[in-house]
Structure 1
Amino acid sequence: MKSWLIILGAAITVLNYAAHSAAEKKVVCYHGSWSVYRPGDGKFEIEYIDPNLCTHVIYAFVGLQYNDDVRIMDSWNEIDKGGFQRFNDLRKRNPSLKTLVAIGGWNEGSASYSSVVNDASRRAAFVNNIVKFVGEYGFDGFDLDWEYPAQRGGAATDKNAFSLLLRELRTEFDKHGYLLSAAVASAAASASLSYDISELGKYLDFINVMTYDLHGPWDPVTGHNAPLYAGSNDDGLTVDAAIQYWINQGAPREKIILGIGTYGRTFTLTSSSQCIMGAPANGAGNSGPYTREGGTLGYNEICEEQSTWMEVWDDQQKVPYACKGNQWVGYDNVKSTLYK
Structure 2
Amino acid sequence: MNRLCILTAILAFLSLCTPSSSSYASYQSPVKAAYWPSYSADSHPASSINSALFTHLFYAFADLNSSTYQVQPPSYDDGSLIGGFSSAVRKTNKKVKTLISIGGGSSDWRTFSAMASGPPSRQSFIDSSIALARKYNFDGLDLDWEFPQSSTDMANLGTLFSEWRSRANKESAQSGLPPLLLTAAVYYASALKVGNGPAYPINYIAKNLNWVNIMAFDYHGGWEPNKTGEHTALYDPNSNISTNFGVGSWLKGGLPSNQAVLGLAMYGRSWILKNTSDTGIGAAAVGAGIDDGTPFYYQIVDLINSTNATVVYDETSASVFTYSDTMWIGFDDPRSISTKVAFLKNRGLLGYFFWTASFDYKWSLATAASQALT
TM-score tier, shorter chain, comes to 0.7 to 0.9
- 1:149/1:194 contact within 8 Å kept: no
What residue in structure 1 maps to residue 220 of structure 2? 215
| Contact persistence 1:271–1:280 (CA under 8 A) | yes
**Is residue 2:225 matched to residue 1:227?**
no
TM-score w.r.t. structure 2 length?
0.77
2:269 alignment partner in structure 1: 265
Could you say which residue in structure 2 is the equivalent of 1:322? 322
Partner in structure 2 of residue 160 of structure 1:
155
Q: Which runs of 5+ in 2 are unaligned?
A: 1-25, 173-178, 341-374
Q: CA deviation at 1:226?
A: 0.6
Q: Distance in 2 between matches of 1:137 and 1:78?
A: 13
User: Superposition pairs for residues 83-232 of structure 1, below 5 Å?
Assistant: 83-89=81-87, 90-150=89-149, 156-175=151-170, 176=172, 177-187=179-189, 188-190=191-193, 192-219=197-224, 220-231=226-237
Structure 2: distance between partners of 1:49 and 1:286: 26
Aligned CA-pair RMSD: 1.9
Query: 2:313 maps to what in 1?
Result: 313
Aligned to 1:298: 296
**Aligned residue type for 1:169:** W
1:213·1:225 contact (CA, 8 Å) conserved in 2? yes
Secondary structure, counterpart of 2:295 in structure 1? strand
Q: What secondary structure, in the 3-state scheme, does the structure 1 residue paired with 2:277 have?
A: coil
Kindly provide the CA deviation profile for residues 100-131 of structure 1, in whole angstroms up to 9, marking residues without a partner as x: 01110111121111111111122122211111
Aligned residues: 301
Letter aligned with residue 229 of structure 1: Y
- The structure number with the bigger radius of gyration is 2
Q: Which residue number in structure 2 is paired with residue 15 of structure 1?
A: none
Displacement of 1:194: 4.8
TM-score when scaled to structure 1?
0.84
Query: SS at 1:157's partner residue?
Result: helix
Q: Work out whether residues 30 and 57 of structure 1, in 8 Å CA contact, stay in contact via their aligned partners in 2.
A: yes
Judge conservation of contact 2:73–2:82 (CA < 8 Å) in 1.
no
Aligned identity (percent) is 30
In 1, Cα distance between equivalents of 2:255 and 2:204:
8
1-side partners of 2:254 and 2:310: how far apart?
42
Distance of 1:126 and 1:34 partners within structure 2: 23
Where do 5+ consecutive residues of structure 1 fail to align? 1-19, 38-42, 288-293
Letter in 2 for 1:126: F
Other structure's SS at 2:313 match: strand
Q: Is residue 148–residue 194 contact of structure 1 (8 Å, CA) maintained in 2?
A: no
How far residue 78 of structure 1 moved from its aligned partner, in angstroms, is 4.8
Q: Work out whether residues 46 and 87 of structure 1, in 8 Å CA contact, stay in contact via their aligned partners in 2.
A: yes
Segment of structure 1 superposing worse, 158-167 or 306-315: 306-315
Higher helix fraction (1 or 2): 2
